[in-house]
């Protein structure tokens, strides 16, 4: 039996509910920006205890819209080096310049110190990424730093559905948060994104931007430099139905993570990313640092070929300042980001993961650890 790197979980009841929703949508002819989108937005905002949510077609679009509203064009945006390309791409597409920052080895996230080191006189925003579903305990201190400088804090919460710190959910710490519903996320709409905010003004502007910058849905009257960032009613229905499973999916993932953490404590040299006090992760990713000098590719190949355990892709293996397309914005080494990108692996975590699958993963990791690390 193979343990896959990822598995999209849509139980039979949900598949039936989606099929019924599609029939209803096709019968009404309301295929975009209709009642299903509103239901999805309302449900997502309620789950994350924020006043407003605006559905769009990708998480990248959600980020770009917030950055456009924050008026970053021609200015700098602090971005952690160990995030997905889309975080920097959203800055570029909004007209800004990414300034890459180092991160904390304890959280894989920006810290007050790394943000301060990356600030420039032209900084327009700070982009805090909740990598793997973990919100850094420094989030409030980073927000205070941003407030003191008059700089908006924007959350890239693509991984952070249902995650919280000190009882507050991802998306509630900054000016706005941007979530992704790509197929592998804890809950998905197939493709899609969501912008959340407490600002009435930002919500209204985001609705304009997502629909080609039109002043109203039915008018050929364009007031912003928007784009076609609408989410279809079918995707909204898929997302809203899957969102109902978020709590149970997170509980399953946390149970898996607890088993991993307990077992890894007996394997010297393997260092899991520990959940700090007051943090509640959804464990979109379970990240483990390998010892310096261990060949990650060989480690992954061994657990796959000998034990049928497919390890997911890293988050992320190549830092942004080493990406060829972003070379013009690279400005020196960022040692911690480079180190964590080079050394970590992710263990499989599925929203319906079985005990025997967890056992198989742990057997594989233990055996390969004994051979390669000792």
The answer to the question of residue 212 being in a domain is yes
263/237 Cα distance (integer angstroms): 39
Q: Starting at the edge strand that comes first in sequence, how are the strands of the sheet with 153-156 ordered? A: 52-56, 193-197, 176-180, 153-156, 123-129, 76-80, 97-101
The reply to whether 220 and 270 lie within a common domain is no
Q: Which of 226, 243, 260 is the last residue of a domain?
A: 243
58/118 Cα distance (integer angstroms): 28
What whole-number percentage of the chain has pLDDT above 70? 100
- When pLDDT is cut at 50, 70 and 90, the band that residue 217 belongs to is confident
Average pLDDT over residues 270-297: 97
Total count of domains within the chain: 2
- Which of 2, 350, 345, 357 has its CA nearest to residue 185? 350
The reply to whether 129 and 218 lie within a common domain is yes
**Residue-wise pLDDT tens digits, 355-365:** 999 999 999 99
pLDDT value at 30 more than 80: yes
How many Cβ atoms are within 10 Å of 157's Cβ, its own excluded?
Answer: 31
The answer to the question of residue 7 being in a domain is no
DSSP 290: P
The model's pTM: 0.96
Please state at what angle helix 85-93 crosses helix 59-69, rounded to 10 degrees.
40
The answer to the question of residue 330 being in a domain is yes
The reply to whether 303 and 162 lie within a common domain is no
The reply to whether 130 and 195 lie within a common domain is yes
142/107 Cα distance (integer angstroms): 14
- Mean pLDDT computed over every residue of the chain: 97
The reply to whether 301 and 237 lie within a common domain is no
């Amino acid at each position: 039996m193979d343990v896959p790197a990822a598995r999209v979980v849509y139980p039979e009841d949900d598949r039936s509910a989606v099929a019924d929703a599609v029939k209803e949508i096709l019968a009404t002819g309301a295929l975009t920006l209709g009642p299903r989108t509103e239901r999805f937005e309302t449900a997502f905002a309620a789950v994350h205890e924020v006043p407003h949510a605006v559905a769009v077609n990708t998480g990248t679009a959600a980020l770009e819209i917030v950055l456009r509203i924050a008026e970053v064009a021609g200015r700098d945006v602090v971005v952690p080096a160990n995030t997905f390309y889309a975080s920097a791409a959203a800055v570029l597409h909004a007209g800004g310049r990414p300034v890459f920052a180092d991160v904390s080895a304890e959280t894989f996230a920006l810290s007050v110190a790394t943000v301060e080191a990356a600030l420039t006189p032209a900084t327009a925003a700070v982009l805090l990424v909740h990598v793997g579903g973990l919100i850094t305990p420094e989030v409030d201190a980073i927000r205070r730093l941003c407030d003191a400088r008059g700089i908006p804090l924007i959350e890239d919460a693509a991984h952070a559905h249902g995650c919280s710190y000190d009882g507050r959910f991802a998306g509630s710490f900054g000016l706005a948060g941007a979530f992704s519903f790509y197929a592998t996320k804890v809950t998905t709409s197939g493709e899609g994104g969501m912008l959340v905010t407490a600002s009435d003004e930002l919500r209204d502007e985001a609705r304009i931007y997502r629909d080609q910058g039109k002043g109203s849905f039915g008018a050929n009257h364009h007031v912003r430099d928007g784009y076609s960032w609408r989410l279809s009613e079918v995707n909204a229905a898929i997302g809203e139905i899957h969102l109902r499973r978020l709590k149970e999916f997170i509980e399953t993932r946390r149970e898996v993570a607890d088993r991993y953490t307990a077992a890894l404590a007996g394997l010297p040299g393997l260092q899991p990313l520990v959940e700090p006090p007051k943090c509640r992760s959804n464990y979109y990713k379970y990240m483990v640092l390998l010892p310096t000098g261990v060949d990650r590719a060989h480690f992954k190949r061994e657990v796959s070929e000998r034990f049928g355990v497919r390890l997911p892709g890293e988050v992320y293996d190549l830092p942004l300042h080493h990406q060829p397309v972003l070379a013009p914005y690279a400005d020196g080494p960022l040692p911690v980001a480079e180190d964590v990108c080079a050394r970590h692996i992710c263990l499989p975590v599925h929203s319906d993961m079985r005990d025997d699958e967890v056992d198989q993963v742990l057997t594989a990791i233990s055996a390969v650890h004994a051979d390669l690390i000792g």
